[in-house]
Amino acid sequence: MKTHARMIRGLLAFGAAALLFAPDARAQDPSAPAPAPAPATAPAAVPVPAVWTGFYFGGGGTYSNVSVQVGRGDCYYDCYWGDYYDYDQGDGDYGYSLHAGWRFHKYGALEVSYLDAGPIGWDQNLVYMPEFNDFYNNRVEYSAKVTEVTLMGVLPIGEMFEAYLKFGAAFTEAESLQRLDQSFGDEVITRSVSDNGTDVVWGLGFGVTLAKVFHVRLGFESVGIDEDVLNTRNNTTLDSIVLEGQFRFGR
């Protein structure tokens, strides 16, 4: 340890002496050639990731399900166990999606998309139906076609990756085939309920650019839907996981 310390002190002393000796030697020998000036170097340029803007379109596959907030008024057995505020999901199904948009800025895009979801199964027992003044076991098959107009916020991550968040309006054409079995009787009611409505859609996701004009993204989105198509009275949403490919045209 002491040897290392002496070596370090010796190197420091040698460097200091060399610095002091250089100007003295120049002063004592005016004929000595002046050292060549160090070449001027331009500051290193910091590379700026290229950000694509332009038009795009694409499509892919979806997995959709319904999510219903279950409260005191919608349950009978569960409420005795304190399950007062929870979310129940149905039996999801696969569908497809299409989209087209305009990336007008590094951080923004406008997009129109179409999602075909269903048929999604929704079963719930002991549901009070005010129009029939009795309890029924619901067996519902729900399907929906959703057209969305959204504004997207995009966060580029390097040259390949990006994260996004979208928010906008959803125009839904939905239909449910319902079988209602009387919970404490033998009555069976079958009916079809249709609903066309407008609600809010939001989503988020992550994408990767695999080639100059081809991009792949994986996202989640949620659309509010009319609770009557599932015979509920609380918040109801159509939730989808979307995997899409996208072709890009622009600069």
Residue 226's pLDDT is 86
Q: Which residue has the higher pLDDT, 109 or 133?
A: 109
For residue 57, count CB atoms less than 10 angstroms from its CB and return exposed for 0-12, middle for 13-18, buried for 19 or more.
middle
Residue 6's pLDDT is 44
The C-alpha atoms of residue 89 and residue 40 are separated, in whole angstroms, by 68
Tens-digit pLDDT profile for residues 92-131: 999 999 999 999 999 999 999 999 997 999 888 888 888 8
Q: pTM of the predicted model, to two decimals? A: 0.71
Residue 45's pLDDT is 56
Residue 46's pLDDT is 52
Tens-digit pLDDT profile for residues 71-98: 655 444 444 444 555 778 889 999 999 9
CATH fold for the domain made of 54-250: Porin (2.40.160)
Tens-digit pLDDT profile for residues 205-227: 999 999 889 999 999 999 998 88
| Joined tokens for residue 131 | 């129009």
Residue 38's pLDDT is 53
Domain residue ranges of the chain, discontinuous segments joined by +: 54-250
Residue 92's alpha-carbon distances to 28, 62, 64, 141, 151, in angstroms, are 91, 10, 5, 10, 27
Mean pLDDT score of the chain, rounded to an integer? 80
Amino acid at 199: D
The C-alpha atoms of residue 203 and residue 165 are separated, in whole angstroms, by 6
Tens-digit pLDDT profile for residues 35-44: 555 555 555 5
